[in-house]
Structure 1
Amino acid sequence: AYWIGNQAIIQRSLGARSDFEAKASYIWGAVLKNVIPIIIAIPGLIAVAMFPELGDGDQAFPQLVGALLPVGFRGLFVAAFLAALMSSIDSYLNSSATIFTNDIYQRFIDRDLTDTAVLKVGRITTFVFVTWAILFAFLLTMMDEASGIYAVFQTLMAFFQGPALAVLLTGVLWKRATGKAACVAFVIGILTSVSLFAMTQETVLATLGMDPLFHTSEPFLYFSIWAFLVTLTILLVGSLMTKPEPAEKQSFTYQASRQSHTGAAE
């Protein structure tokens, strides 16, 4: 779901000069991604040893920077941090504007957009997303601070990752999968994630008189897995009950693509 469904990553591979470079960039990126848990965990362990009284995990890294780096290096660190942050933000803003403009606005609202109009719609969309992100950042500050920013972010991502993984894997690997079934399954999968998340909230459990479904403080992986299974089941059944996609669309699956490349090589 992350590597083949994240538009911010896909748009980078589209800029590659060849198929080989695009594939190699994915593999190398996945290798580097494995280093991130170490980068996150080691400073956290150091912070636990240096600041055992620190109760807010989100303050661990700033405390380390203030305690271990001299003044000049602190400024350099802040500059590097902001540069990396802006690099990620502009990628996601650009990909979000691209998806809305090409897949929604041009498809359902105005099919005859000029290049100037496309640029204008993209800029307006970017502004709307930036505004929404700022408001959402304030919303995060009002959520459960005990969970920390990382847990809150992963919980929100888990609403979509399970259903998205089921839809993407099935669409790539199974020629019989249909778009209608995928849309229905994806929506139901998200609703499943949200419903399971609601069942972890004390107010909801108290109202319904139920015990917690998951005996962990951060259950986002659990309801993401269940949402994946629900989405996959509905997608498989729904695809068999709906009309197959045209042969042109079926050729985009992994098996069909591999057969075509094998035939061309022979």
Structure 2
Amino acid sequence: VIVQRSLSAKNLSHAKGGSVLGGYLKIFPMFFIVMPGMISRALYPDEVGCVDPDICQRVCGAAVGCSNIAYPKLVIELLPDGLRGLMIAVMMAALMSSLTSIFNSSSTLFVIDIWQRIRRKASEQELMIVGRVFILILVVISILWIPIIQSANSGKLFDYIQSITSYLAPPITALFILAIFCKRINEPGAFWGLMVGLAVGLVRMILEFIYSTPSCGEEDRRPAVLKDLHYLYFALILCVLTAIVIVLISLCTPPIPEEKLVCLTWWTRHRKAPTIDLKNYKSRAAQINPADGESALVESTDSAKPPCWKMLYLWFCGLSTGPTPTLSQEERAALERRLTSIEEKPLWKIVCNVNAILLLTVNVFLWAYFG
């Protein structure tokens, strides 16, 4: 979700500023989660802090614990009617916002990386419909997954979220860092590194579901990889393992040609791509497909209004009902130069860089102090 938002930013300063702001906002959940949990545990020790599985089952319907009801119970029990409804509306809005971001990003990945490989000539209308159908499938899977979430990680939703992230995110982190700072990394190394990291992370995640966390007072009979290795330490090991696989396979396979790395790595970010002779490019394109050589350079002149049922269908699918303008080769080249420029205004460059360093400093201090 974050990477897609950064890639769609107006310019590099906007991308950096948005990422830094997101980093600042991610500091607050530590206080938003820990403080209400401590307050609720002190006010409702027999409900939020229940230990007996029978009592927990009666209170919240989960035998492994009732820590997930800590914050909702504070809202329902302590706030007056007006504020209670407002807070519940805020919680639902935040949940819906997070889910829509995840679903949209997932559908984009499916449509672009999978569906377009199956249907290479799929129209935009087809891609839009497939993306929305895929979101419906994700919603169904999410609903069916709820019982697994309730029984995992002793019923602690926050621990479940962090553990799943620790099993799936480290390979992506290792790949991004290596791909940005190492020109020798290539596609086979990236692919097999992700596959190995995903396989190892899924093995750990499946073991977590098979061997549930024992209740208080019970002997822990889980394998050592679960009992003695915390998921945060496992995330570090998985990240290093993925990086090793990526580097080894990349070194054993041909490198990416230097001319194809323009603007793709830290060391080649200021290199300029070779210029294209637009006139010759236009003539070559017309020779390849003479029927479309000129018509693709002008706006659509089809002004016939579609029937009402089709306009309703297009509106429901979020598609344009009017003619779609087509840019000329010169206009497209100018637009691409503007969108791919990494030039920044000096003031905002300094502001973003200083805040990035400050953010890293604050996070390192918080991890060291509270860890």
Matching residue within 219, 222, 238 for 2:233 = 222
Change (3 A) 1:103 1:212: same
Q: Does 1:67 align with 2:77?
A: yes
1:5: which partner in 2? none
Alignment of 1:168 with 2:176, yes or no, is yes
Distance 1:168 1:64 in 2: 41
User: Do 2:167 and 2:235's aligned partners in 1 also have CA atoms closer than 8 Å?
Assistant: yes
Residue 17 in structure 1 maps to residue 29 in structure 2: no
C-alpha contact 1:199 1:212 (8 A) present in aligned 2: no
Runs of 4+ in structure 1 deviating by more than 4 angstroms, as ranges, are 196-203, 258-263
Aligned pairs for 1:40-55 within 5 A? 40-53=33-46, 54=48, 55=50
1:238 to 208, 233, 249: 249
Structure index of larger Rg: 2
Q: Percent identity between the aligned chains?
A: 29
Alignment partner of 1:121 is 2:130? yes
Deviation, 1:188, is: 1.1
Contact 2:40 2:70 in 1 (8 A): yes
| Shift in Å, 1:57 | 0.8
Q: How does 1:1-266 map to 2 (within 5 A)?
A: 8-53=1-46, 54=48, 55=50, 56-106=66-116, 108-141=117-150, 143-144=151-152, 146-196=154-204, 212-213=224-225, 215=227, 219-251=230-262, 252-258=264-270
CA contact (8 A) 1:178 1:239 kept: yes
Deviation at 1:66, TM superposition (A): 1.7
- State the TM-score, normalized to the length of structure 2: 0.61
Do the aligned partners of 2:167 and 2:204 also contact (CA within 8 Å) in 1? no
* TM-score, normalised via structure 1 length: 0.83
Q: Distance in 2 between matches of 1:118 and 1:168?
A: 27
Structure 1 residue runs of 5 or longer lacking an equivalent are 1-7, 204-208
Letter of the 2:88 counterpart: V
Contact kept, 8 Å, 1:185 with 1:234, in 2: the verdict is: yes
RMSD: 2.6
Please give the alpha-carbon distance, in whole angstroms, between the structure 2 residues aligned to 1:257 and 1:193.
Answer: 33
The answer for the alignment partner of 1:4 in structure 2 is none
Higher helix fraction (1 or 2): 1
Q: Tell me the amino acid that sits aligned with residue 197 of structure 2.
A: G
Deviation at 1:14, TM superposition (A): 4.3
| In structure 2, distance between residues paired with 1:45 and 1:39 | 11
